Chains A and B, each alone.
Chain A
Amino acid sequence: MDDEQELLRRLRRGDHGALEAVIKLHHAFLVAMAVPLVGPESADDVAQETWLKAFAAFGKFEGRSKLRTWLARIAINEAHAMRRKRGREVSLDGWGVDSGSPISSRFNEQGAWDVPPSQWHHESPEELLTEAELYECIRKHLHKLPSDQQSVVMMRELGGLDYPEIAQALGLAEGNIRVLLHRGRQRMHAMLNHFEEVGTC
């Protein structure tokens, strides 16, 4: 990601504009990721603490992961620290229960496709993301996912965290994380498939 490399170069120089730009790019993600960990009232504090730590450490960031992944790891550590300090656990009741396949009605009794997926007009993530309406639709449906699926999709797909990290952060087994991720992907696929079929969200 050349843009990210350039941004990092500027961040390491302490360029004020780059600091603003990186906050603009990732603050909302950090807040959204922290909400299930510390609650909505403290999620912004976690993001602020993350920036403090990150600004002091950009020089040490080696670029082996995406910047978003590096920030997500700091945010998870900050969320843990905040939970310890405030002596409370976030209750995630009902998280991790498999809601079942969102596409089960698309198969017949023998388990063959009744309503198969359509051919899509877009062939690459870049093509899909250049359509403004589709981008808005993806964001909207990401927020509509059940909270546990949304959280795992955010951490794994957007954040690039690995399964053990996510399992530990959410207090769930890795097996649960894999199921939640699959269900979230299936729902997002169904959304994209609908968009490709009818051309609107």
Chain B
Amino acid sequence: MLTCREMSELGSAIIERDLRLSTRWAVFMHLRMCSRCTLYIKQLKLTSEVLQQLPFTDDAVDSQAILKKLQAPDQ
């Protein structure tokens, strides 16, 4: 029987479906009766999805200057 602490350690493997069959069964059984771990795993997945979609723009980047430099590499 997995504890909630062990479930939290398996979080990324669970959301990436990267578990051995025996562990997968234990995870499934735990999630069936533990709403707290179900919530944690759901939120960890959401966290991962937020990071995947996170824009990483920087207003300080001067794209015109970079483009000019690229078009005149010898200067």
Which A residues have a C-beta under 8 Å from some C-beta of B? Answer: 16, 19-21, 23-29, 32, 48, 51-52, 55, 101, 103-104, 107, 110-113, 116-117, 119-120, 122-126, 128-129, 135, 138-139, 142, 153, 157-158, 160, 178, 181-182, 185-186, 188-189, 192-193
B48-72 vs A, Cβ < 8 Å mask (1 yes, 0 no): 1111111111100101101101100
Contact present for B39 and A116 (CB under 8 Å): yes
User: Are A24 and B4 neighbours in the complex by a CB distance under 8 Å?
Assistant: no
Contact status B12-A129, CB under 8 Å: no
Assess the B8–A112 pair: CB atoms within 8 A. Answer: no
Main secondary structure of the interface of B (DSSP, over half): helix
A25–B50 Cα gap in the complex (Å)?
Answer: 17
B74 at interface by CB-CB < 8 Å: no
From known contacts A111-B4, A112-B3, A158-B51, infer whether A23 and B43 are also in contact, taking CB-CB under 8 Å.
no
Give CA–CA (A21, B66) in the complex, Å.
Answer: 12
When A182-B11, A185-B48 are in contact, do A29 and B56 touch as well, CB less than 8 Å?
yes
Q: Are A138 and B54 in contact (CB under 8 A)?
A: yes
Q: Are A21 and B56 in contact (CB under 8 A)?
A: no
Interface residues in B, total, Cβ within 8 A: 36
Chain A proximity of B45: nearest CB distance (Å): 9
Q: For the complex, give the distance between the alpha carbons of A29 and B58 in Å.
A: 9
Query: Which residue in chain B gives the minimum CB-CB distance to A32?
Result: B56
Which residue of chain B lies nearest to A68 when distances are taken between CB atoms in the complex? B56
Question: Are A25 and B55 in contact, CB atoms less than 8 angstroms apart?
Answer: yes
Question: How far apart are the CA atoms of A111 and B51 in the complex, in Å?
Answer: 28
Choose one: B43, B50, B53, B66; the contact of A193 (CB below 8 Å). Answer: B43
